[in-house]
Amino acid sequence: HPKLNYRMDLTMALAGSCKTTLNRYLALEQPEDVIQILYIWIDGTGEHVRAKSKTVYSEPKSHDDLEEWNFDGSSTGQATGSDSDVFIKPVALFRDPFRCGRNKIALCETLDKDGKPTGTNHRAACVEMMERVKEQRPWFGIEQEYTMLTDAGRPLGWPVNGYPAPQGPYYCGVGANRVFGRDVVEAHYRACIYAGVKISGTNAEVMPAQWEYQVGPCEGIQMGDHLWLSRYLLHRVAEEFGVRITLDPKPMPGDWNGAGAHCNYSTVDMRTGEKGMEAIVGAIERLKLKHKEHIQSYDPNNGEDNKRRLTGRHETSSINDFSWGVAHRGSSIRVPRQVDRDGYGYFEDRRPASNCDPYMVTYMMVKTTLTCDHSA
C-alpha cells in the first residue's frame, strides 16, 4: 500500500535550501532603519532579469529616495571588461514578498557611463513616447503565457521518455492528470498582489505544464514596469519550488501550443460610447500597414523567435499575413465579442511572443496608432 506521495517531477534544490533553517534566519528581528533593497534590471539578452541587494538606512517611500548604483556589465552581456561599469537607476518600487517587512524591490533602467540607455534598455524611449500620447490615456493588459520545466529541462509533469495525451483537457483544467505545478501559480499570484503588481488573473493553458497570468489594466509606462517585475517574481518563486520557467514562445515543437504575450489595448476614444468602434477599427487599419515593423519588435530577436510560434495553427495567425476578426483566435488581432456588442472597448493583439519586451510592444502600439511618426 503506497504512502500518499506528492508525486511531481520536481527536484529539490541543494541541501542549503532547507526551509526550516532559512526561516529561522528570516525571522530574525530587523531594525526599523535597516532595509534590504533588491535592485533588478534587464540584462544584455533583453529577456532575462538580474538582481543584487544593498542595505539602506531609511525606508524609501518612492524610487526617487534611492541612489543610482552600478554593476559589472561584462558579466551580463552589457559591456566589455575594460570598461565594464553599467549604471542602474531605480524607476519603480515594490514590496518584497520574499524578505517581507519593510524590505523592497527596485526595478531599474540600465545606463552607460554617459547616462544613455544601454542596448536592451527600451524603457527610456517608451517613457518619452507615453509622455507624448498621454492625452489619449493608453491602457494595456498583457496575457503572459509561460511553461514550467523540470531541472532537466523537460516540461513539468510530462512522462520521462514520452508525451502526455494530446491537448484538449488541460486548458483551465483541474485534476492531478490535467494540471502540473499549480502551487507555483498560487504562490506567484499572492507574491504579486503583496508586492503591488497589478495582476488581474490566472489560468491553466492549452499545453500541459503551460500557464498564463494577466497584468493590467495599466496606463502608459506602468505596463512594462509591472510585467517585468511579475516576471522576476515568477522565476524567483519557481526557484523555491525547484521549477524552471521558460518564456520561450515554442518550447515543444509539433502539435503543442506555443506561448504568447497577447497585448490588450485601448485609448480614451476606443473606450468611449459612440466613437469607440470607429477608433478601434482605425487603429487596426494603421497596424495593418506596419505589420513587419511590429513583428520585428514582438520578440527580442527581430521576429526570429516568433517564426517558430506564428504558424497559423494552434490559435495563432501566420507570421506573414495580417488579419483581424471578432472573437477570431486565428487572426493577428481579435476584437472581443463583448466589445463588438457594446460598440466600444479594446482589442487584443495576439502577435507578441511570450519573451517579448513589453516596453517595446507598448511603445510600438502607441507609436503606430497614435502618432504620425514613420521613423524606425
Q: Which helix or strand (DSSP H or E) is residue 340 part of?
A: helix 337-342
Q: Which of 174, 253, 254, 274 binds another protein (CB under 8 A)?
A: 174
Does 163 help bind another protein (rule: CB under 8 A)?
Answer: no
| Binding string, residues 313-352; x marks residues near another protein by CB under 8 A | --x---------xxxxxx-----xxx--------------
Dig out the grid coordinates for 60 from the structure. 524609501
8-47 binders of another protein (CB under 8 A): 8-12, 17-20, 23
Closest CB to another protein among residues 74, 318: 318
Does 277 help bind another protein (rule: CB under 8 A)?
Answer: no
- In the complex, least distance from residue 133 CB atom to another protein, rounded to whole angstroms: 27
Q: Which candidate, 161, 276, 139, places its Cα nearest to that of 216? A: 139
| Binding string, residues 198-217; x marks residues near another protein by CB under 8 A | -xxxxxx-x-----------
Does 53 help bind another protein (rule: CB under 8 A)?
Answer: no
- In the complex, least distance from residue 325 CB atom to another protein, rounded to whole angstroms: 7
Alpha-carbon span 150 to 43, nearest angstrom: 24
Q: Compute, in degrees rounded to 10, the torsion defined by CA atoms 133, 134, 135, 137.
A: 110
Dig out the grid coordinates for 11 from the structure. 527536484
Dig out the grid coordinates for 209 from the structure. 505544464
Helices (H) and strands (E) in the chain, counts: 10, 13
Does 282 help bind another protein (rule: CB under 8 A)?
Answer: no
- In the complex, least distance from residue 4 CB atom to another protein, rounded to whole angstroms: 5
247, exposed or middle or buried, with CB in 10 Å at 0-12, 13-18, 19+? buried
Q: Which of 6, 24, 27, 62 binds another protein (CB under 8 A)?
A: 6
Return the exposure string of 184-219: e unless at least 16 CB atoms fall within 10 Å of the residue's CB, then b: bbebbbebbeebebbbeebebbbbbbbbbbbbbbbe
**Interface positions with another protein (CB under 8 A):** 1-2, 4-12, 17-20, 23, 95, 97, 100, 160, 168-169, 171-177, 179, 182-183, 186-191, 193-196, 199-204, 206, 237, 240-242, 315, 325-330, 336-338
